[in-house]
Chain A
Amino acid sequence: MASTSLQSALTPAVETTEPPAAPAGGRKTWRKDGRAAVLFLAPWFVGLVGITLGPIIASLVLSFTDYNLLSDPNWVGLENYRAMLEDERLHQALRVTITYTVVGVPAQLVVALGLAIVLDRGVRGLPLYRSIYYLPSLLGGSVAIAILWRLIFGTRGLVNQVLELPVVSDLAGLVGLTPTGWISNPDTALWTIVLLHVWTFGSPMVIFLAGLRQIPAMYYEAASVDGAGWFTRFFRITLPLLTPIIFFNLVLQVINSFQSFTQAFIVSGGKGGPADATLFYTLYLYQEGFKNFDMGYASAMAWLLLTIIAGFTAVNFIAARYWVFYGDE
């Protein structure tokens, strides 16, 4: 499984040559740590074994069956996995989801980080701006989003009204932007959902803000003594010390984005249309499992997804060794 590569990738990023302020006692602390670890991990471990692991393993087993929710499952071996090879809708779903992840995640993180940095500086009324920018993320899965998205990107929506203004239409025409039904045209529908994703940048922004606040002041004080300017401080202190948080956002956003469901469900009314243009992987999986009563196949799909996500995450962890800096190293 991918977890082995993931595991090997999980060695602490930025291995420094000299051991970091080595805890006194060497081996002894290791053993002492072990005992403490048992205590600290106890709740998590109990939950893992008692609640989480069972259903996960069950889904793996069910992926080798024809489970339809309403009757006992029958073993079908690798049949579900073989069927996935020929399932064109599944391939379409993969294309959609990967496009969305590869474009949407970096775009959202750049916006979130940029705004977090702007909003972290001394501007009057900052808490207000921060809160306002966070509002769209609060709306979450509200059905209102679907209606709004149509009011904005529909054939008669705001975007087209702007594009039809005298001067704007000429300028837009130069770059090939002409009014269309942005959410109903299969060529553009996915991009409106990517935009929706970027628009709800509130969560990573808040995490970045918290990260900026967690940076120990002593580093800045030292830099001030050296007479470093804002620019130097930002690139020598802020950015490097923020890398663990950037890394966190990247890893988690990739994981979440592969499982992206709600936004596409709401905007397309659960269909993934037009013509499967917004058929996200989990949306298709959900349709297969619950609407078409093929939970066996849906489970197999889920395990393929897990493998893919684990692969991406492993790559992230491997790459992190070269760019993430931890204060505890």
Chain B
Amino acid sequence: MATNELLRTTDTADSYRGPRRRPWWQSLLIHGGLVGFGLVMLYPLLWMLSSSFKPTDIIFREPGLIPTELEPGNYVQGWTALLHPFHRYIFNSLVIVACSIVGNLLACSMTAYAFARLNFRGRKLFFAVMLATIMLPIHVVIVPQYILFNELGWINTFYPLIVPKFLAQDAFFIFLMVQFIRVLPRELDEAARIDGCNHWGIFWRVIMPLSMPALATTAIFTFIWTWNDFYSQLIFLTDPDLATVPLALRFFVDSQGDTSWGPLFSMSIVALVPIFGFFLAGQRYLVRGIATTGIK
């Protein structure tokens, strides 16, 4: 098929960026700056890491970065102190996250293709409506949502958290993909059309492969935001068997001051591992985006 010839996988970083070699002092300056800045960015994480190894009682008495007393037991306690072992909560979160990613990738990209490439009556109106749906704070829609999902019998199931994703209700990602698709030249669509592709073919064979960076971004953000989303999970999942990571972390917190900081910080570190891992994996698709070489 001729369309395939339009696409060529290249590591774009090498094909057009400036010269790689620079004098040693320049490299030193750049790396020095980047490392220094990195330390500022990392400080909070390092602090949390260090605190996760301190006994709860001394975390605030000795807030320095280097622990004077090591308490690796925080990890054991954090993992086991709740009703279920912590991996149960990680598993629950992963189920929701995995479904959300699949849902968002499929549904939002389809919707975005329509807004970016199709001419249809009411496009601008629909687009405005779509954007307007993310302009209301969650706190005023959550109660009606609860009632709606309660009527559907969805409270204490993962449906309220997953189904909207498969129905492209996250305007952020639709708009994101619309913007990315619109960067792609229309000549590509035309070439594919001449090759006999219909809209589905153009979407699936041309636009989607070229939108790898946007899809990767969507997947990464969906993962992180769903993983960290506390509020809707708090409202829709009241059964402790279904609790997710952010809910489980709050189980350690006590308003009266009896918070189990050690276990809380240790499990917060554990909770960071999956998102950070996914980010590391996902960003490879940002770096090595498939770029078009265009039509000569």
Contact = CB atoms under 8 A, between A and B. Distances in A.
B222 to A, nearest CB: 12
A20 B216 contact: no
Nearest to A219: B294
B167 A248 contact: no
Contact of B145 (A24, A55, A137, A259): A55
Contacts of B42: 132, 135
Interface string B93-132: 0000000000000010011011011111101111111111
Contact of A209 (B167, B172, B286): B286
A216 B128 contact: no
A313 B140 CA distance: 21
A36 B114 contact: yes
B169 A144 contact: no
Contacts of B17: 120-122
A289 B213 CA distance: 40
B114 A210 contact: no
A293 B139 CA distance: 12
Given A36-B199, A214-B213, A328-B186, A247 B179 contact: yes
A206 interface: yes
Contact of B41 (A51, A136, A233, A286): A136
B44 to A, nearest CB: 5
Nearest to B107: A43
Contacts of A224: 16
A74 interface: no
Interface in A309-329: 309-310, 313, 326-328
B120 A33 contact: yes
For the residues of B in contact with A, the DSSP-based class is helix
Given A36-B199, A44-B167, A51-B169, A206 B145 contact: no
B291 interface: yes
A43 B175 contact: no
Nearest to A67: B143
Size category of the A interface is 35 or more
Given A127-B283, A230-B18, A285-B139, A47 B176 contact: no
A325 to B, nearest CB: 9
A218 B119 contact: no
Contact of B137 (A46, A207, A302): A302
Contacts of B296: 218
A147 B7 CA distance: 50
Interface string A53-83: 1111011001000000100000000000000
Interface size class of B (residues with CB under 8 A): 35 or more
A46 B139 CA distance: 23
B111 A59 contact: no
Contacts of B253: 143
A302 B190 contact: no
Contacts of B265: 144
B72 interface: no
A203 interface: yes
A84 interface: no
A131 to B, nearest CB: 6
Interface string B198-238: 11100100000011011011001100100010100000000
Nearest to B15: A217
B133 A221 contact: no
A123 B217 contact: no
A162 to B, nearest CB: 12
23 contacts: A23-B190, A30-B120, A33-B119, A41-B114, A51-B145, A51-B167, A59-B141, A59-B144, A123-B34, A127-B287, A129-B38, A139-B272, A144-B44, A144-B47, A144-B265, A216-B292, A218-B293, A221-B16, A302-B136, A302-B140, A310-B132, A327-B182, A328-B116
Given A34-B119, A122-B18, A137-B224, 4 more contacts: A3-B128, A206-B217, A298-B139, A326-B183
A-B pairs with lowest CB-CB distance, top 8: A218-B294, A47-B167, A213-B289, A55-B144, A210-B213, A40-B114, A37-B120, A220-B16
Interface of A: 3, 6-8, 10-11, 20-21, 23-24, 29-30, 32-34, 36-37, 39-41, 43-44, 46-48, 50-56, 58-59, 62, 69, 118, 120-127, 129-145, 148, 151-152, 199, 203, 206-207, 209-211, 213-221, 224, 230, 233, 241, 244-245, 247-248, 251-252, 255, 259, 261, 282, 285-286, 289-290, 295, 298-299, 301-303, 305-306, 309-310, 313, 326-328
